Amino acid sequence: MSVVRTLFLAAAAALTVAATPASAQFFLKNVDMNGPRVTGEEPGVATQALPGATPAEMRAAILWNLRSGLNVAALQCQFEPTLLTLHNYNALLFDHADELKQSYDALGKYFIRTAGSTKAGQTALDQFGTRVYSSFSTVSAQLSFCQAANEIGQEAIFVPRGYLGEFAEMRMRKMRNSLVAYGEQQFGRAIPYAARPARLYQFDNKKCWRKGLWQAKRCGAFPA
């Protein structure tokens, strides 16, 4: 087991008690959004295919995807103050500034190399960044997305400097899984309905009533 994984698991365990009160912001029981570690080769993980990318460049792409997702959450999830997505994101930028810059520089070099020129590479990098941000746009799954971003953002604060890329590989699948709309997991989704639809009395329809009596000739049988 790697050093960062050991530290990460220890930090996650320490956070369990602190995170428990916030785990039910939206649901009594949340869906399990965790997933296996990624390399960036999986469809949809790094937003777009990066042909010829080195392992370091793939890790940079995954990290940039995770950072972008947390950035989107910082803006979109402030409707629930207890999530602290904005505070977590700001702490991430401060604590891991060097590694985030290194990942951005690595992506810049990749696109310059593959595009053939500095100008074309910068354009490709900008397009990549736009696609990454757009990939985290969600409406129907906003609750699960914000919940996952909150948990990941809290964990990221405790990741040792220099290991954020490895952390991103372990948490990127959860971030992507959260973009699928889920509901309450504690109870069944099926809602029992009456065998037949309820019929409302036409109390405001004067033609159906006369001296407090229902006029069946005008409005049919009295609703049962």
Quick: pLDDT tens for 67-80. 999 999 999 998 88
Query: Over 60: is that where the pLDDT of 201 sits?
Result: no
The DSSP string of the chain is --HHHHHHHHHHHHHHHHHGGGGGSS-SS----------S-STTTSSS--TT--HHHHHHHHHHHHHHHHHHHHHH-TTSGGG-HHHHHHHHHHHTHHHHHHHHHHHHHHHHHHHSSHHHHHHHHHHHHHHHHHTT--STTHHHHHHHHHHHHHHHHTSPTT-HHHHHHHHHHHHHHTTS----SSS-S-----SS------TT-GGGEETTEE-HHHH-SPP-
Does residue 6 carry a pLDDT above 80?
no
- Residue 216 is predicted with a pLDDT of 78
Question: What's the mean per-residue pLDDT of the chain?
Answer: 80
Q: What is the pLDDT of residue 193?
A: 47
pLDDT at 58: 94
- Global pTM reads 0.69
